[in-house]
Amino acid sequence: MNKQLIFGIIIVLSICVVAIFAPYIIPYDIFEQDLNNRLKPPSIKHIFGTDDLGRDVFSRMVFATRVSLTVGFISISIAVVIGTILGLISGYYGGTIDTIIMRLVDIMLCFPTFFLILLVIAFVKPSIYNIMVVIGLTSWPSLTRYIRAEVLKIKNLEFVLSAKLAGLSTTKILIVHILPNVLVPIVVTFSLGIGSAILTESALSFLGLGVQPPNPSWGNILTSGKDYIYMAWWLSLFPGLAIFITVVGFNLLGEGLRIYLSPKEK
């Protein structure tokens, strides 16, 4: 097992444990305000300091881990389902269906994903649920193209041709015989995509278009810190580090899985 995969697993598991046990870890209510202790630096009482409303930053950071992981997992799950289905159909059937799907992929890839998300968010109410759906609906094109290429290589191999001659339905051939052989790009894309989705959610929340206050997310904690960056550095440092470590962890996991699962890399 390579070092990238080991470090990725350690980081991701640690973050998942924090998210799962967040209610038992946080020392204060995430909504509890104490204006007499606003913008206090890190101390024994508040290890990550307090924000502009006197709320404990550590408690909000820990709870925000749940928000970030939820957005990452659900949004990329949506993208993987769409990308996998369209990739299988496009690669297997070819012809007009393939042309239509690939032109749709080309159109989607012509627009920078983040600006496409901003465009959609402009027409819907900012919320964690809308963010998950929008990120999922704009993150599938690359996976679709990748899976299509794999299916094109697989569909004419002997075991697939034998399944056709045996009279198996197209659906069964796709699910039983072809899908297991394209799981590597799916798993890798899922791992890498979670880090990307978390980064996107944080950027949207920073702009005020993601998770809405008073609900905490790493992005809106950063937003509250930008107005006090010279007098309350902890409001920018800790959420920034959390985003950085999480994205690096999922990228290491994804790259490690790619190397571990790919025979060519071995």
> Across residues 240-258, what is the average pLDDT?
91
- Look at residue 48 in the predicted model and tell me its pLDDT: 93
Mean pLDDT lowest for which of 95-104, 212-221, 235-244, 257-266? 257-266
Residue 265 has pLDDT above 70, yes or no: no
Q: What confidence tens digit (pLDDT) does each residue in 219-245 have? A: 888 888 888 888 889 998 999 999 999
Of 46, 42, 44, the residue nearest 32 (C-alpha): 46
Q: What confidence tens digit (pLDDT) does each residue in 121-179 have? A: 778 777 788 888 888 988 899 899 999 998 998 888 888 888 888 888 888 888 888 98
Structure tokens at 151: 């299916």
- Look at residue 263 in the predicted model and tell me its pLDDT: 58
Where along the chain do its domains lie?
3-11+47-261
Under 8 Å between Cβ of 183 and 154: no
**Cα within 13 Å of Cα(13), Cβ side:** 6
> Across residues 193-201, what is the average pLDDT?
88
Question: pLDDT class for 14, splitting at 50, 70, 90?
Answer: very high
Single-letter code of the amino acid located at 218: W
Q: How far apart are CA 225 and CA 175, in angstroms?
A: 49
Q: How far apart are CA 93 and CA 80, in angstroms?
A: 20
* Size (the chain), residues: 266
Residue 250 has pLDDT above 70, yes or no: yes
Q: Output the pTM of the full model.
A: 0.87
3 state SS of 50:
strand
Rg (CA), the chain: 22
Question: pLDDT class for 188, splitting at 50, 70, 90?
Answer: confident
State which CATH number among 3.40.1190.20, 1.20.140.10, 1.10.3720.10, 3.40.50.970 fits the domain covering 3-11+47-261. 1.10.3720.10
- Look at residue 97 in the predicted model and tell me its pLDDT: 93
